[in-house]
Structure formats: C-alpha cells, structure tokens
Structure 1
Amino acid sequence: MSFKRFWTVFVHRNWEFLRDRSSLTWNLLFPISLIAGFTFAFSGPGLDLYKVGLLNDTGDRNGSEFFQTRYIRFIPITDSSAALIKVERHQLDMLLDPA
C-alpha cells in the first residue's frame, strides 16, 4: 500500500467525521461537560478528614503546632466513657488524653 493511498483514506475519513454532526458534537461537548460536572461535584469547602477527641481539654492549645494541623478537628470531651462509645461507633477517629 502506497503512502498516497494511505493519505487519501486518512483525509477522507476525517472529512466524513467532520460532516457527521452528531459524532462531532458528542466527541467535543461530552468531555467538556464531563469535566464541568466533576468540577461542580467535587468543588466546595474542604471537609475535616479526622475528628480527634481530647479528654479533659484545658483549652491551652494555641501554642502547639500539632493542634493547628489541617484536616483534623479537635473536639474537647469531658466524659471518657461517652468518648469511648463514640470511638466504638466511629463517630470519633481517635481519642487523646493529653494528661
């Protein structure tokens, strides 16, 4: 097969594709709409990935960089038995006793 025949088939297949409006629309608009849909679905404020309970928290957390970690929300808890139940039921990811 000569290159000239290959080139002719290539050009005519592309013209055929460009003349078919439905396939052209589908191939151009679908990826754009898919990207726009995913952008809309996954945009927004970042959520806390982990919730960590602090037993008997004194509130003196401003000096430590550990308590400023992104994506972790530290929750003060006073009752240890209620906190253990929350960990068992996966309402808290971790329980810390800083004392």
Structure 2
Amino acid sequence: MRNKALLAAIALMLPAPAAVAQDLDTSQLQQRADMERNRVLVRSTLRQKQRADAGRRMSRNQAQANACANRGRFAQQYGANHPKVLKLQSLCARAGYW
C-alpha cells in the first residue's frame, strides 16, 4: 500500500507530456523548416529557369537554321552582294550551315 501511495505521489509530481511539449524551444525547428522551404524554392526556381533557357536555346537554334535554310531566297530578293546577305552567309558558315 505504501508503494502505491509513493508511486501516486511521484506520478502527480511529474508534469503531463503535453505540458512539457509546450515548454520546448521550437525556434531551431522553425529555422530548419524555413531553410528547407527556401532550399526547395530555390531548386524549383532554378529548374524552371533551366527549362526556359533550354526552350529559348532550341527556338534560337531553330530560327538560325531557318534563316540559313533561306539564304538563297534572301540572296535572290536582295542581291547576292547585299551587306546583310553577306553577313548572313558568313554567320551561317561559322555556325556550320553550308
């Protein structure tokens, strides 16, 4: 009987787990959560930028290929010795479109 009374007295002196949880400092957890959110945001932003840059590169390459494919038409329209046609010819040659 005495042991039960002693255990009951000790149990009453111990704080409840919910009350203890409220006293814990959560600032480190909040900082970690903020850092994780920022990391995820930066990573997703970089991925979106890389995808957009890749799309622009493809469209730029396609535009370059189209312009070089139409060199003959531009030469007929403006003349083979027109400065812009000559510039287009040199740019296409440098890019490897012959």
TM-score range, shorter chain: 0.3 to 0.5
Which structure dedicates a bigger proportion of its chain to strand? Answer: 1
Which structure dedicates a bigger proportion of its chain to helix? Answer: 2
Q: Based on CA coordinates, which of the two structures has the bigger radius of gyration? A: 2
Relative to the length of structure 1, the TM-score reads 0.38
| Higher normalized contact order (CA 8 Å, seq sep 6+, divided by chain length) | 1
Relative to the length of structure 2, the TM-score reads 0.38
